[in-house]
Amino acid sequence: MSGAADERDRIRAAMNRILAGRPERSNGALTIVALAIVADVARNALTRITALR
């Protein structure tokens, strides 16, 4: 699996955990920062993936 695909998978899984109320490593806030922490990706990875769509 490529690095970008792996990041996308981790981000999707993190979004699901946050929305389900089961965040890991964050307070579960609906923010980019919390999502990056839960997904274990750099914050700029979220903007890169959004720009690719």
Q: What is the pLDDT of residues 1-31, one digit of tens each?
A: 577 788 889 999 999 999 999 988 888 889 9
Q: Which amino acid, one-letter code, is at 36? A: A
Which one has a higher pLDDT value, 13 or 47? 13
CB 37 within 8 A of CB 26: yes
pLDDT at 50: 54
C-alpha–C-alpha distance, residues 24 and 3, integer Å? 21
Q: Given this model, what pLDDT does residue 16 score? A: 94
Q: What is the dihedral of CA 53, 43, 26, 28, to 10 degrees?
A: -40
Residue 15, domain extent: 3-52
Phi-psi group of 30: left, alpha or beta (phi > 0 → left; psi -120 to 50 → alpha; rest → beta): beta
Domain count, the chain: 1
